[in-house]
Structure 1
Amino acid sequence: MEHTSVIRRARVGDLPRLVELVHEHVAYEKSAPRPPDLAERLGPRLFAEDARLWVLLACAPDGTVVGYAACSAEFSFWDARHYLHMDGLYLAEEARGHGLGAALMDGVRELARERGLGEVQWQTPDWNEGAIRFYDRLGAAGRPKRRYALAVEPVRPEGGTPPGPGSVSR
């Protein structure tokens, strides 16, 4: 696979396969199922003119999409600069061990360079020893931290629409 495989940007026609891979990734990480309308929610954000979400795909020699790396620009308050956040990297089981993960990471690095971003950050579950070994081999530095999530229901003023940005008062 490594000699004729391709890393490329996602295109609109790739969305159904990309969503399949996302669902495989979610199952692999033992995460809660994602919404059934994922493609409809993801497509406009991924393929908009001003998109700040980029997906690189790993394709097998026959052109089959077998993996992805999803990235977005984020801002580090402590460093007062933007960085590339890799929200997910996943390869289908049959595509592992052929150099595609390293090729995807090379593509992610290049994407960061193109965007003028000096760092890529990501996380992986602490039980995913294979991924940890892979990232360590790349020379990435692990940083211990616990990730939290807090669900927030939007406040709906009279009229039923959520408030716009900047409407939080202190």
Structure 2
Amino acid sequence: MNNFQIRKATPEDTQTIFDLIYKLAVYEKLENDVITSVEELRTNIFEKKFAEVLIAEEDEKPVGFALYFHNFSTFVGKPGIYLEDLFVEPETRGKGYGKALLVELARIAKERNCGRLEWSVLDWNTPSIEFYKSLGAKPMDEWTVFRLDKSGIENLAK
């Protein structure tokens, strides 16, 4: 990993972030769900600061990213970090880059006195599930994720 680094994303990275999000969506067979734009990402990540992004680079070329934001645990009484997306380019997998991104997130969580670092993974993504378990992460099998999409929010907010 001599030519590898992780750095915080800047507004100039927004197109790269969008491209990596799209590649992740293709991997997850969800590319039709990507409805955002580069401009919307720039506004929400760098101006409104709703999320943060780490960029993984090999030979100064982006090869992965982690997009995360803070949540809060009422039971623990502390903030946590929620990892929304983690992606490493297929041709660079197996080099430890995904683990390095998670290690950096754990360092950030420790530095910020977070009580938890959490994320979701698709049920069919066995390689990722096994990878996360190898790091000591535990699946939260007793929980079910619920979601209101834009129309659901509109209907409920009436």
CA distance in 2, matches of 1:114, 1:76: 17
With 77-86 and 138-147 compared, the bigger mean Cα shift is at 77-86
Give 1 or 2: higher helix fraction: 2
Q: Which whole-Å deviations, capped at 9, do the CAs of 1:62-98 have from their partners, x for residues lacking one?
A: x111111111001224444321000110011111111
Deviation at 1:137, TM superposition (A): 1.0
| Mapping 1:1-170, distance limit 5 Å | 2-31=1-30, 32-35=32-35, 37-48=36-47, 51-61=49-59, 63-144=60-141, 145-151=143-149, 152-154=152-154
Gaps of 5+ in 1: 156-167
Which residue is equivalent to 1:160?
A: none
Gaps of 5+ in 2: none
Identity of aligned residues (%): 27
Deviation at 1:52, TM superposition (A): 4.2
Equivalent pairs counted in the alignment come to: 153
Q: Which whole-Å deviations, capped at 9, do the CAs of 1:125-156 have from their partners, x for residues lacking one?
A: 1110110111111111111133232223537x
Q: Contact 2:45–2:51 (CA<8 Å) still a contact in 1?
A: yes
Q: Contact 2:78–2:113 (CA<8 Å) still a contact in 1?
A: no
Moved over 6 A (4+): none
Code of the aligned partner of 2:119: W
CA distance in 2, matches of 1:57, 1:85: 16
CA distance in 2, matches of 1:132, 1:72: 21
